[in-house]
C-alpha cells in the first residue's frame, strides 16, 4: 500500500498499504519462535493446501529462483522450516474466557492482529516521499511513478522486490539501491501505535496465543527483526512469503493451525481493509474492528460494521474482560 505491503486506493499520492481487491497471488509468514517470514515458507502450508484440495497452480506458477516443497511454490530460494526451534514458554492460562463483549462466554485462546492501521499507523506522506525519492533516482516523473507503484502492488506482494523492479525497467545495477531505500522507509513506518506493544505483552501475560496476519511486500519481513514487535508474536504471517492474501480463508486457517487453535477459538483485530474482518468470520473466527477515534472507518465494507469495535489497541484488554 503505497508503503510497505499493499497500497490502499486513496489516491496515488497518498496510497495506503492495505486496501486492495480480494484475491491475487501473494506469499508470507513468520513467528516469535515460529517465523513464517520473508525468507522461509512452510511445509504446513503444503499440508493445508493439500487438505483443502488446492493445487499448486492455484497459488501461481513457480517463478525463476523459486523452489518447491510440499507441493507449494516457495519464493526466492526459501528453504527454511516454518518454525525455528521451539522456545520453552510457560503460560499461566492457555484458555481464557471472554464474556459479553464477544457475544457470550465463548472461549478465546488466541488473538490475531492485522498490522497496518491496527498496530502501526501508515504515514501517507512518508510513503509518497519514498516514491518521489525513487522516481528522482530513476529519472522518472514523480506522478507517473506513483501511479506505476500503485499499479504494481500485486506484483510486489506476490514476488520479490527485485523481480518487480526489473519488470518495470529499473536497471539491474540500481535494484539493490532501491530495495535498500524501501527497507529504510519501512523501518520508519513500522513504529508501534501508543500502547500497542504494552497491550500485546499483557495479552501474552494473560495466556493468549498471539498472531499477526499482514498483506505486505518483502521489506516488512526483511526488517521485522529490527522492530519493537520482533519477539512478541507466536506466529507472524506475511502474505509476500506464503502466497496468500486476506481475505483468502487459507491465510486465516494457516495462522490458526500454526497457533495450535481452531478458528472458533481465535479473535481477529483489524481496520477492515481487504475485507479482512468478514474473511475472518467466514472461517469461524470472531472479528473486532479498530478505527481512529471520531472518524468513520475508511473502507466501504466496514462502514456499516455491526460487530464489536475499538478505537485504540489498549481497549482490547478491557474488551476481553467484558
Cα–Cα distance measured from residue 283 to residue 300, given in angstroms and rounded to the nearest whole number: 21
Supply the range of the domain harboring residue 180.
1-322
Residues 6 or more apart from 170 whose CB is under 8 A from it?
Answer: 138, 178
Cα–Cα distance measured from residue 118 to residue 31, given in angstroms and rounded to the nearest whole number: 18
* Tens of pLDDT, residue by residue, the chain (322 residues): 333 332 233 333 344 445 544 443 333 344 444 555 433 344 444 444 443 333 222 223 333 333 332 333 334 333 332 333 333 333 333 333 333 345 443 689 999 999 999 999 999 999 999 999 999 999 999 999 999 999 988 888 877 899 999 999 999 999 999 999 999 999 999 999 999 999 999 999 999 999 999 999 999 999 999 999 999 999 999 998 888 889 999 999 999 999 999 999 999 999 999 899 999 999 999 999 999 998 889 888 898 899 999 999 999 999 998 7
Q: Total domain count for the chain?
A: 1
Exposed e or buried b for every residue in 7-27, given b needs 16+ CB within 10 A? bbbbebbbbbbbbbeeebbbb
Q: Is 43 exposed, middle or buried (0-12, 13-18, 19+ CB in 10 A)?
A: middle
| 103's grid cell | 457475544
Q: What pLDDT is attached to residue 35?
A: 52
User: What is residue 61's DSSP assignment?
Assistant: P
Q: What pLDDT is attached to residue 158?
A: 75
Cα–Cα distance measured from residue 73 to residue 68, given in angstroms and rounded to the nearest whole number: 5
Cα–Cα distance measured from residue 182 to residue 48, given in angstroms and rounded to the nearest whole number: 32
Q: What pLDDT is attached to residue 102?
A: 54
Instruction: At 120, give phi and psi (nearest 5°).
Output: -135, 155
Cα–Cα distance measured from residue 209 to residue 228, given in angstroms and rounded to the nearest whole number: 18
Q: What pLDDT is attached to residue 196?
A: 98
| 246's grid cell | 486476506
Q: Are strands 286-290 and 309-310 parallel, antiparallel or unpaired?
A: parallel
> With DSSP H G I counted as helix, E B as strand and the rest as coil, what are the percentages for the chain, rounded to 5?
40, 15, 45
> What CATH number has the domain bearing residue 163?
3.40.50.1000
Q: Please report which helix (H) or strand (E) contains residue 129, including its range.
A: helix 124-138
Which of left, alpha, beta for 134 (phi over 0: left; psi -120 to 50: alpha)? alpha
Residues 6 or more apart from 296 whose CB is under 8 A from it?
Answer: 303
Q: Is the separation of the CB atoms in 310 and 288 below 8 Å?
A: yes
Q: What pLDDT is attached to residue 14?
A: 41
How crowded is residue 270: how many other Cβ atoms within 10 Å of its Cβ? Answer: 27
Q: Is the separation of the CB atoms in 3 and 186 below 8 Å?
A: yes
Amino acid at each position: 500500500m503505497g508503503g510497505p505491503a499493499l497500497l490502499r486506493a486513496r489516491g496515488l499520492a497518498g496510497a495506503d498499504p492495505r486496501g486492495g481487491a480480494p484475491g491475487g497471488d501473494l506469499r508470507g509468514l513468520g513467528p516469535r519462535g515460529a517465523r513464517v517470514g520473508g525468507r522461509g515458507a512452510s511445509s504446513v502450508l503444503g499440508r493445508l493446501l493439500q487438505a483443502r484440495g488446492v493445487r499448486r497452480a492455484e497459488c501461481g506458477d513457480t517463478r525463476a529462483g523459486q523452489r518447491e516443497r510440499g507441493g507449494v511454490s516457495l519464493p526466492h530460494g526459501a528453504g527454511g522450516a516454518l518454525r525455528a526451534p521451539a522456545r520453552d514458554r510457560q503460560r499461566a492460562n492457555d484458555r481464557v474466557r471472554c464474556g459479553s463483549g464477544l457475544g457470550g462466554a465463548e472461549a478465546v485462546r488466541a488473538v490475531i492482529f492485522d498490522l497496518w492501521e491496527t498496530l502501526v499507523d501508515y504515514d501517507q506522506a512518508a510513503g509518497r516521499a519514498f516514491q518521489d525519492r525513487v522516481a528522482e533516482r530513476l529519472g522518472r516523473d514523480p506522478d507517473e511513478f506513483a501511479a506505476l507503484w500503485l499499479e504494481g502492488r500485486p506484483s510486489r506482494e506476490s514476488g520479490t522486490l527485485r523481480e518487480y523492479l526489473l519488470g518495470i525497467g529499473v536497471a539491474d545495477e540500481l535494484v539493490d539501491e532501491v530495495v535498500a531505500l524501501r527497507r529504510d522507509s519501512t523501518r520508519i513506518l513500522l513504529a508501534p501505535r501508543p500502547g500497542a506493544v504494552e497491550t500485546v505483552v499483557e495479552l501474552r501475560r494473560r495466556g493468549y496465543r498471539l498472531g499477526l496476519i499482514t498483506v505486505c511486500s518483502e521489506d516488512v519481513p526483511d526488517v521485522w527483526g529490527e522492530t519493537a514487535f520482533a519477539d512478541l508474536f507466536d506466529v507472524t504471517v506475511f502474505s509476500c512469503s506464503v502466497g496468500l492474501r486476506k481475505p483468502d480463508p487459507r491465510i486465516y486457517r494457516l495462522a490458526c493451525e500454526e497457533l495450535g487453535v481452531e478458528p472458533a477459538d481465535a479473535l481477529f483485530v483489524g481496520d477492515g481493509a481487504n475485507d479482512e474482518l468478514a474473511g475472518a468470520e467466514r472461517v469461524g473466527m470472531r472479528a473486532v474492528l479498530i478505527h481512529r477515534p471520531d472518524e468513520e472507518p475508511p473502507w466501504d465494507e466496514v462502514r456499516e460494521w455491526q460487530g464489536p469495535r475499538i478505537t485504540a489497541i489498549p481497549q482490547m484488554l478491557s474488551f476481553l474482560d467484558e
